[in-house]
Amino acid sequence: MTLILSNDDIRKSLKVKECLNVMEETYRELASSRAVNRPTSQSYLPPSLPQSTYNFKSVDGGVGKYGVFALRVTSTVDQEQHINNTVRLEKLPLAKGKFVGLVQLFSAETGELLAIMPDGFIQQTRVAVTSALGVKALARENSKVLALIGSGGQAHAHFRFLTAVRPIKHVKIFSPNPEHRNAFAKEMERETEIPTNPMESAERAVTDCDIVCTTTNSSRPVVKADWLKPGMHYNAIREFEMDEAGLAKSDVVAIHTQFGGIQHYQPPGIVVDMPGVRREKSRDWSRYPEICDLIAGKAPGRTNDKQITFFLNNVGTGVQFAAMGYCAYRAAKENGLGHEIPTDWFLQDIKP
């Protein structure tokens, strides 16, 4: 049977420890040439709405040890919206008020389609799990206070996974909207029984913490270099959440992956970028080790308690979707969740 899962099925069934173990093994597989990644590609079609573009994004990857291969696609109409003198790129909920993003899991042993699931919860989880492995590799063993900047889906996931790898006793939370930060702090305290405090500024949240984690959409620095003190670990999920000075001040720096760079495909003959095509500039990260090197012991991590460590969880990779898709599939099968469809519907006699 091929399983069709929902975000709720996945939310109910994913186990924190298993996600961490499977992702860690996945990075070991990558370090020993037993996992593969294809960089993200985006293909664009001209707008059916003003200032918009159809954007088909895909990435794939597989992990030998688990015998799975995953394809992640998003199929969206993206619109440039001018709000308060800034241009924002908004994905429009045109699919009956909803969005289309899917992870498809294949067996690398038989080729069969094992499962199709939405990418939303998986996406948040795969980022947070990798950040947690960065914490595991770089933060002080006795880290007790976490400063979390942000209150969205990524903040939720990072709260759950970062507190699972270090003995965190207290989480200080900042996000610009007081209602959001208060509600988020309460919600997570109730869920995890770890005391939380909403803070009035990012600086106050960071003061005296052991681990700083920014989970924002910001393209400007969120944490200032001055705030980073000896012994701290800083985790960013976007390159420019951290300023250049903060980077220079860090004693140990690692990134998720050197791999990638999005490949953009516009219709032939189009030389000016269509609305919605974003080619992000990046700093040069080529001198820093990857998380899989840290995990496999090929690169040094923290060597003393005074060092400032920095992990940039930069771009997503296919193996992350394979690892988390595998966890979701296995857990859903154990718990009898999801809709079952005959696998035969996705098989054929004709040799491809």
Longest dimension (CA), the chain: 64
Residue pair 158/215 in contact (Cβ under 8 Å)? The answer is yes
Show contacts with a second copy in window 140-159 (CB under 8 A). 153
Determine if 56 is a binding residue for a second copy (CB under 8 A): yes
CB of 161 to a second copy, least distance (A): 17
CA 251 → CA 46, 108, 140, 308, 311, distances in Å? 47, 40, 13, 5, 11
Show contacts with a second copy in window 310-349 (CB under 8 A). 318, 339, 341, 343-349
CB of 153 to a second copy, least distance (A): 7
Give the pairing of strands 170-174 and 233-236.
unpaired
CB of 84 to a second copy, least distance (A): 20
Determine if 217 is a binding residue for a second copy (CB under 8 A): no
Q: Which residues contact 232 (CB under 8 A, 6 or more apart)?
A: 209, 210, 211, 212, 308, 309
Determine if 161 is a binding residue for a second copy (CB under 8 A): no
The nearer residue to a second copy, 94 or 247, going by C-beta atoms, is: 94
Give the DSSP H or E segment for 286: none
Give the DSSP H or E segment for 42: strand 35-45
Determine if 218 is a binding residue for a second copy (CB under 8 A): no
Show contacts with a second copy in window 242-261 (CB under 8 A). 259
CB of 57 to a second copy, least distance (A): 8
Of 252, 248, 201, residue with least CA distance to 225: 248
CA 137 to chain centre: 17
The nearer residue to a second copy, 6 or 192, going by C-beta atoms, is: 6
Question: In this chain, which of 21, 25, 38, 192 binds a second copy, going by CB under 8 A?
Answer: 38
Give the pairing of strands 170-174 and 252-255.
unpaired
Q: By rule CB under 8 A, what string of x and - marks binding of each residue 118-137 to a second copy?
A: xxxx-xx-------------
The nearer residue to a second copy, 242 or 291, going by C-beta atoms, is: 291
Show contacts with a second copy in window 187-206 (CB under 8 A). none
CB of 345 to a second copy, least distance (A): 5
Cα separation, 214 vs 211, whole angstroms: 10
CB of 38 to a second copy, least distance (A): 5
Show contacts with a second copy in window 260-289 (CB under 8 A). 263, 265-270
Show contacts with a second copy in window 10-29 (CB under 8 A). none
The nearer residue to a second copy, 90 or 189, going by C-beta atoms, is: 90
Residue pair 297/291 in contact (Cβ under 8 Å)? The answer is no
| The one-letter amino acid at 315 | V
CA 10 → CA 119, 124, 157, 234, distances in Å? 10, 12, 13, 29
The nearer residue to a second copy, 87 or 347, going by C-beta atoms, is: 347
CB of 117 to a second copy, least distance (A): 9
Of 215, 243, 238, 251, residue with least CA distance to 227: 243
Question: In this chain, which of 16, 21, 25, 43 binds a second copy, going by CB under 8 A?
Answer: 43
Cα separation, 291 vs 301, whole angstroms: 10
3-class DSSP assignment, residue 106: strand
Show contacts with a second copy in window 61-120 (CB under 8 A). 61-64, 67, 69, 71, 73-77, 91, 93-96, 98-102, 106-113, 116, 118-120
| Residues contacting a second copy: total by CB under 8 A | 81
Of 296, 288, 256, 322, residue with least CA distance to 37: 322
Determine if 352 is a binding residue for a second copy (CB under 8 A): yes
Binding range to a second copy, per CB under 8 A, among 41-49, 184-192, 193-201, 308-316: 41-49
